[in-house]
Homo-oligomer: A and B are copies of this chain.
Amino acid sequence: MKAAVAALACASLAACATPGDEAGGDGGPEPAARYAFWRPAPVVDAPDPNKVVQEAPAEAWRRIDPADLLVIDLKEGGRVVVELAPAFAPVHVANIRAFARARWWDGAGIYRVQDNYVAQWGNGDAKTELPPGVVRRPPAEYFRDLAGLEVRPLGFPDSYAPMVGHVDGWPVGYDPEEGRAWLTHCYAYVGVGRDLAPDTGTGGELYAVIGHAPRHLDLNIALIGRVVDGIALLSARPRGTEALGFYKDPAQAIPIARARLAADLTEAERPAFEVLRSDSHAFGQYVTGRANRGGDFFQRPAGGVDICNAAVPVRKATR
């Protein structure tokens, strides 16, 4: 390794193009090793993020529309609830609503659990006749127009996207130059299984992230929402032993009793959730607190947080 300690971080907003060393030699990295960015100073005595969420006023929360909640009841008991994101993948979300209304997933199963990656469920190849209203080849809803979105920038550098932030309680990467925004593959986020390009999947096969954020999938797959309750029912499962974590024996799949939109459940069965509004004062305080952990345990606040380690707070709603 010849190019040790090549670049310098810029501690101020002053423009700093770091010359760095030439990263030569076999083991050296691409010239990418030279980069510079501005970082905020760490905040000492930042607010406790848990306390911020606990004390956030009622108006800082938005209720999730029951038409945007996919409720998956497992045969063994337990419920996984997914918040859908029609603003980002409208055709796929419409498909998912049609699948739920046609009882597509009743009797389906969780057939793939890959460690540090995803748990996936659906019918596999068991059903071929799509329900009415399902679009067989949706457009590639891997991103959407940035125009029209009000983004709250996270305020810290990201390893993947030019910018990251939040839109209406959703984490996004965005590119002001290209005018695009997209959901990020964070823990518990749900995407559409697909085959090779240009297929985008119907939404009939879904996966949830159960490991470190596989952000390389951003812009390559349609994300349709996130698990807001019951993620451990997916993550705390035996890993599949076949390639990509598929279960070897179909009988190992964890059976789904039914999957419905909350809007189609009776009042008594219907769950309700609220999301902390990302345009609220409390949310800003929460992010600052996540980026600068304090209290009796932490010795040194990080002065930064990645988009997936500041999970958007969600809570069960009182009726």
Contacts and interface: CB of A to CB of B under 8 A. Distances in A.
Interface of A: 1, 3-9, 11, 13-17, 23, 26-40, 113, 115-116, 140, 142, 146, 149-160, 162-163, 165, 174-177, 186-188, 196-197, 211-216, 218-220, 231-232, 235-239, 277-281, 283-284, 287-288, 290-291, 293, 296-300, 302-309
Please indicate which of the listed interface residues A153, A154, A165 has the most CB atoms of chain B within 10 Å of its own CB.
A153
Given A29-B287, A211-B212, A283-B27, A15 B16 contact: yes
A298 to B, nearest CB: 5
Contacts of A3: 152-153
This chain: copies in complex: 2
Given A27-B284, A157-B158, A9 B177 contact: yes
Contact of A5 (B140, B176, B220, B278): B176
A272 B34 CA distance: 36
Nearest to A303: B160
Contacts of A277: 27
A165 to B, nearest CB: 8
Given A30-B155, A33-B153, A297 B215 contact: no
Given A8-B162, A35-B157, A197-B299, 9 more contacts: A3-B153, A9-B175, A17-B38, A29-B165, A157-B158, A160-B304, A215-B305, A216-B290, A235-B235
